[in-house]
Structure 1
C-alpha cells in the first residue's frame, strides 16, 4: 500500500530497544578502561626503567661522568662502588696510597695507609668493625711512637654506627681530617670527616649527604622488626645531628641529608662547607671542641670480631655505646637487619 512504512528489522528493533544514553556510557567506560591500561603499562615501563637504573647505579664499577654540582643544582646519583668523574675532576692524591681510587678501592673495606710525617689515608667502605680497625691502627702507631696528625678520607660511606665512633675517636685523639682535591666522601663518610680537630676540603672534593637507611636483609621483614628498624633509624638520625653539634658543625646541615633519598647525594658546595663549619682551618674554642679524650681512653682496645658492632669507649659521647639500648642496657651485637647505612 502506498505510504505504508515497512516494519523495522530485527537489528533496528534491537538498537531502538537500547535505553537513551547507554551507548554513550558504554563508549565512556571503554575509553576509561583503555586509559587505565595505558597508565598501567606506562607505570610498569617506568618502574622497570627505574629498577634497571638503580641496579646499574648500585652495581656500576666504572667511574660515572657527572656534571659538577652548582648552587641550586646539587643532587647527584649516589655511587657506592665507584666515584664521579668529569672534565674538571682528576684523581685524588692520597698520602701513602698508590692504588686505584675508583671501583676497586670503593668496594673494599676501608684500609689505612701511613705516609709518614703524621699523615694517614683512609680508603674504602666503612664496614661494621671499621671503627675497631681504626682504633687498632692508631694503637699500633702509638706503640711504634708514630704520631698521627691528619687523616685523608676517600670513601663511599657505609656503616653509620662505625662512622659515629670513628669521628669521636679522631676528635678524642686530636687528629685532623681532610678530603683531598677530587676526593670522594659520601654517605656516612662526612660524619667521620666532622670528627677532625681541623677539617679541610680540597678543590672539587665531592662531599655528599643523604638519608640514613636500614640495610635490607632477606627473611627479616616481620612487623616488629620493621617497627624497631624505623625507631632505630630515627634515633640514629638524632645521633648524627648531635655528633655534628658536638663537633662544632651546624646540625642544620643534616636537614639536607634527610631531604635526599638514599639513591641520591646532596653534594655540599664550598660555601656550604664553610658556612656550616664543616671546614675549619683552626681548632674550635672550648665551647665547640666536642668530646675530649677521657682519662680511661685506650687506643689499644681489643679489635672487634668481623660483623660485631664495636662499642664507643665514651660513656657520655654522642649516642653512647653502639651496642646498647636507649635505656643503657646491653643489647649485644647489632642484628644485620638493623644495620644503618648512610
Structure 2
C-alpha cells in the first residue's frame, strides 16, 4: 500500500550513503587490525618465554652490574652465577672445580676443608637438611667452624632445617667473595651465630617459588592454596626472628617476582642483621621471680639469674 513504508532510520541512511565496497573494506581493515594485535601478543609472549628459558637454562656466568640503592633487582639465575664488573668467580674452601653450571644446578654437596671449614655448593633439595645434619656429625664439625655457602636456593623447608641445625651447633656462616646465595639460601645464612658476606657477594631474596628445570625433580615448597603460601612465609619470618635477623628483609622477598632477585647491598646486609660480626648476647627474658615470704615474715632470697639461662 502506497505510503505505508517506514522511512529509513539514521543509521540506515548513513550506510546507504557509503561508497560501494566501503563496508567490506572496513570489515577487512578491522579483521587485519585484530589479526595484527593477536600476532603482537603471541610474539610478546614467545619473547618472554624465550628470555625466561635463556635465564633458567643458562650455565655460563652472567655479567651483571652490581646493585646500588634503588637499583637492586636483577634476574634470578637458578643454574649459574652473576659476575660483577671487574670481578671474578668465588673461591670455596676445599672445592676445586666449576662454581656455576653443573655445580649450581646439581644437588647441594658438602666438602670438608682444613681448619674445620665446610663448603656447601649447589641447590637445596628435599632432604638436603637431613644430609647436612649427617655430614656435620660424621665429620665431627664443632662450634666455631664456618659453613661457606654458594647456592641458588631451593627447598624452603630444608633451608629452615639447615639454619636451625647450624645454630644448634653454634656454627658461623659465610658467603665468600663473589659468592652467590639466592632465594632460600639466605635463610641458611641466617642460621650462623656470626654471619659474613664477602666483597662482591650476591645475597638476594624473592617470592617463594619452585623453578622448573628440565631433567631436575620439580621442587614444590608451597602448594597452590593461599593458606599454604601464607604458612610458608610465616615460617620464613619466624626463623629470621629466631635467628636474630630483622624479618623486614622478607618484605623485599614478597615484593620481588620469582623470576627476579632483590639483591641486598652492604648497607642492607648490616641493617637487616643478615651479617653479624659478633654473636648476639645471651638474652634474659622476663623479670626475676618475686621474693616469696616465709612463715617468719622474712623474704626468701631468690638466686641471681644465670646469663646463660634459657
Same-fold call, TM > 0.5?
yes
Deviations 1:283-317 (A, max 9, x none): 1123499xxxxxxxxxxxxxxxxxxxxxxxxxxxx
Query: Does 2:54 correspond to 1:59?
Result: no
Q: Please report how far the alpha carbon of residue 232 of structure 1 lies from its aligned counterpart in structure 2 after TM superposition.
A: 1.8
Aligned CA RMSD, in angstroms, stands at: 2.6
**Partners in 2 of 1:233 and 1:114 — Cα distance?**
35
Pair 1:171-2:167 in alignment: yes
Please give the secondary structure, in 2, of the residue aligned with 1:35.
Answer: helix
Aligned-partner Cα distance in 1 for 2:208–2:161: 16
Contact 2:78–2:211 (CA<8 Å) still a contact in 1? no
Structure 2: give runs of 5+ residues left out of the alignment: 1-10, 214-221, 286-310
- CA offsets, 1:217-259, max 9 Å, x none? 9xxxxxxx9654x422221111101111111111111111111
1:135/1:234 CA distance change after superposition, 3 Å: same
By relative contact order (CA 8 Å, sep 6+), the higher-ranking structure is 1
SS in 2 for 1:54: helix
Quote the Cα distance in structure 2 between the aligned partners of 1:206 and 1:183.
6
**Cα distance in structure 2, aligned partners of 1:88 and 1:279:** 24
Query: Aligned ranges for residues 69-108 of structure 1 at < 5 Å?
Result: 69-108=67-106
Aligned counterpart in structure 1 of residue 14 of structure 2, from 20, 32, 55? 20
Matches within 5 A, 1:245-284: 245-284=241-280
Structure 1 unaligned spans of 5+: 1-16, 218-224, 290-342
* Whole-Å separation in 1 of the counterparts to 2:30 and 2:262: 41
- In structure 2, C-alpha distance between the alignment counterparts of 1:125 and 1:288, rounded to whole Å: 37
Aligned length: 263
- TM-score of the pair, normalised by structure 2: 0.78
Question: SS of the counterpart of 1:117?
Answer: helix
- Give the match's secondary structure for 1:271: helix
Q: 1:98 to 1:256 in 2, by over 3 A?
A: same
CA-CA distance at 1:112 after TM superposition: 1.0
Counterpart-to-counterpart distance in 1, 2:28 and 2:258 = 41
Over 3 Å counting, the alpha-carbon distance change for 1:66 and 1:187 in structure 2 is: same
Structure 1, residues 66-117: CA drift from partner, whole Å, max 9, x if none? 1211111111111111111233321112111111111121122111111121
For residue 200 of structure 1, give the secondary structure of its aligned residue in structure 2.
strand
- Match in the other structure for 2:191: 195
Superposed CA deviations along residues 200-221 of structure 1, whole A, max 9, x for unmatched, are 000110011010025679xxxx
Q: What secondary structure does 2:119 align onto? A: strand
Counterparts in 2 of 1:1-342, with a 5 A limit?
A: 19-20=13-14, 23=18, 26=23, 32-142=30-140, 149-214=145-210, 227-228=224-225, 230-287=226-283
- Provide TM-score, normalisation by structure 1: 0.71
Hey, what's the Cα distance between the residues in 1 that align with 2:64 and 2:211? 26
Spell out, residue by residue over 1:176-204, the C-alpha distance to the aligned partner (whole angstroms, 9 max, x if none): 10001100001110110011101000011
